[in-house]
Amino acid sequence: MWKDLEKSRGVFEALNKDQKKAVFAPEKPLLIVAGAGTGKTKTLTSRLIHLILKGVPSNKICALTFTNKAAREMEERVANNLQRTTDDGQKAVSRSSSVVSQKPSISTFHSLGARILRKEAKRLKRGFNFGIFDDDDSLRLVKKIAKDKLPKKTEAKPALIYEKISAIKNGMIELESLKNSKDINDEMAFYFFPIYEKALEENNAFDFDDLIQKVVGIFKNHPEILGRYQDQFSYVLVDEYQDINNVQYELIKLLAKDGKGLSVVGDDQQTIYSWRGSNIGIFLSFEKDWPEAQVMLLDQNYRSTQNIIHTASELIKNNQFQITHFGSEKKEKNLWTKNEGGEKVTLREFSNEDEEAGWISNEVLGDRLKVKGGEKKESIGILYRTNAQSRAIEQALIERELPYVIFGGVKFYDRFEIKDILAALRYYFNPKDSLSRERLEKNIGKRRFFDFQERIMSLENLEPAELVGAFLKTTDYFKMLEKSYTNFNERRENIAELTVFATQFKDLGEFLEKVSLVQAHDLVTSNKGYETSKEGEVVSLMTIHLAKGLEFDRVFLAGASEGILPHHRSIDTLEKLEEERRLTYVALTRARKKIHISFYDIPSRFLSELPIEVLDYAALDGKNFEDEERYITLD
């Protein structure tokens, strides 16, 4: 029945040969290795539809994704295709009304976990109406415990203690490994963990990490419950498999039972979230975990030009940690496309980040001026490794009156730590500024504010950068941030960026006026970013991590400099360095038509791995990557 229905409907006509091979693969553990832009989600969704048309009851299928957006898209694709199928093949479907009368379970890992916990909460001494604490709630709970349990003078930092607790729940570290650690934060995390767990129980709450970890615990401790869910979900499909962490992996293994109904899709060349627990080893060990596994490759890219694909492919082949064989067949993964060759990849060198930002903004402005009335503007994404890099780019775009969005982030001058420092500078410049004083007293405390006032306000003619340094030292601001925020390093980078910008000014009034004018003429639209803006109408700014899954006509990769990309904290091991290369690969493969790469100071080591034949690198200041003059610095 289902074969006739598929033929009559042509649901799968748009799939290529390799995609069809994956969709119709036998019911054995299936790993679909899908390169960038090869239609991985379409393929996984088509396999789900194929299972339903084959006669599998929809409610027997569980599909897991990482974002609500991805889950919604998959739901819509399944619903639309099944509706078209039933419209065209009503007679065939009438034999099994369950094919479309019930919906498959399509959700994020955390949504599935919450649903299971609602039914099983009593086993963990919670009511069905339990609350879910997000990261802010959980950190506040740890701070509350710290206030009661820690001595006033201690080096332990609540933010780092919570970070350790979260890492334990995500399978990144073992609780017992912290027991005899010499690190005070490890020691306190070991001590706090049971207290924190008890506090969650008393609040009738789970934290976000519990939504998976606690479900895994229930399944392990109650085989009868696990059996019930294994019977309910005979088929488990997982999107973005390269991003799963150890606990999510345990959940999949438990649900998938013998693996016959398991289908996963992902790309080991796009594993970029190890800092939040994703483990590339899980992806690479699929065949070892499932002896009957079948591994299939999707390597036809539909998104980008040949030059972009060639550039990205030549770069990523330098990584060692990736799948190199498919079943018994050993071959090199080689992303390819039928798209035209397209423009060369632009590579440009600048003396500093402001010059780089000016060039990027001029290129964007020139692109916009070429568009005639009624024509659609090309979508443009400006990508960077760290949030701190947005400062120069935002400023340059604003000066040219180019509207932009910060996708998934906060405008540079709206970031908490930046506003604190600017408040200190404004108060020094104008002691009658009561709003700046109130902000400082609230955020750094009255004692720290008094120290700042007593030690610094009497000093005269401090330059902006000097004043920033004096504020940080007098208030011990970095220590305060480290105790209070898990993303301390990112906030410190933002402050460093502000300090560097401040060195360009001798006069504090001039500096504050410049900053105020930037804010007053802010052209940022909705902070929700990409999803709320019409494609092409505004320029999208984001970190490379947030760009994954998105695509643009033109992409500017800013700051491809050694120490930024790869990041200086990620060059001490091969594993970290290869993840930085994967980040660069992700950035390159976001572009449909054109990629611009720019750098200042020392060029990224990854740039020397790009194929020279497709690079437009005429403006490299007369020096190649091997020129020793690049690496000479004056102390």
Which parts of 430-549 fold into alpha helices (H)?
A: 434-444, 446-456, 464-475, 477-484, 488-502, 508-520, 544-547
Amino acid at 70: A
Residue pair 477/471 in contact by the 8 Å Cβ criterion:
yes
Q: Please pick, among 163, 239, 299, 363, the residue that the annotation labels catalytic.
A: 239
Q: How far apart are CA 131 and CA 89, in angstroms?
A: 45
Q: Please pick, among 240, 378, 562, 578, the residue that the annotation labels catalytic.
A: 240
Amino acid at 81: N
Count of helices and strands (H, E) across the chain:
27, 17
Active site residue 590: yes
Residue pair 382/392 in contact by the 8 Å Cβ criterion:
no
Active site residue 367: no
Query: Token pair of 266, please?
Result: 């992902």
Residue pair 50/77 in contact by the 8 Å Cβ criterion:
no
Q: Please pick, among 20, 27, 28, 41, the residue that the annotation labels catalytic.
A: 41
Active site residue 60: no
CA nearest to 208, candidates 117, 89, 123: 117
Which DSSP symbol is given to 612?
Answer: G
Q: Please pick, among 86, 270, 271, 474, the residue that the annotation labels catalytic.
A: 270
Q: Please pick, among 303, 590, 592, 594, the residue that the annotation labels catalytic.
A: 590
Distances (CA, A) of 614 to 313, 361, 373, 593, 610: 12, 24, 33, 13, 9
* SS3 of the chain: helix, strand, coil, percent, to 5: 55, 15, 30
Residue pair 527/514 in contact by the 8 Å Cβ criterion:
no
Active site residue 507: no
* Region class of 57: left (phi > 0), else alpha (psi between -120 and 50), else beta: beta
Active site residue 499: no
Q: Please pick, among 40, 60, 492, 594, the residue that the annotation labels catalytic.
A: 40
CA nearest to 542, candidates 393, 407, 411: 407
Residue pair 257/221 in contact by the 8 Å Cβ criterion:
no
Q: Which three-class secondary structure state does DSSP give residue 269?
A: helix
Active site residue 346: no
Q: Which residues are tagged catalytic?
A: 40-41, 239-240, 270, 590
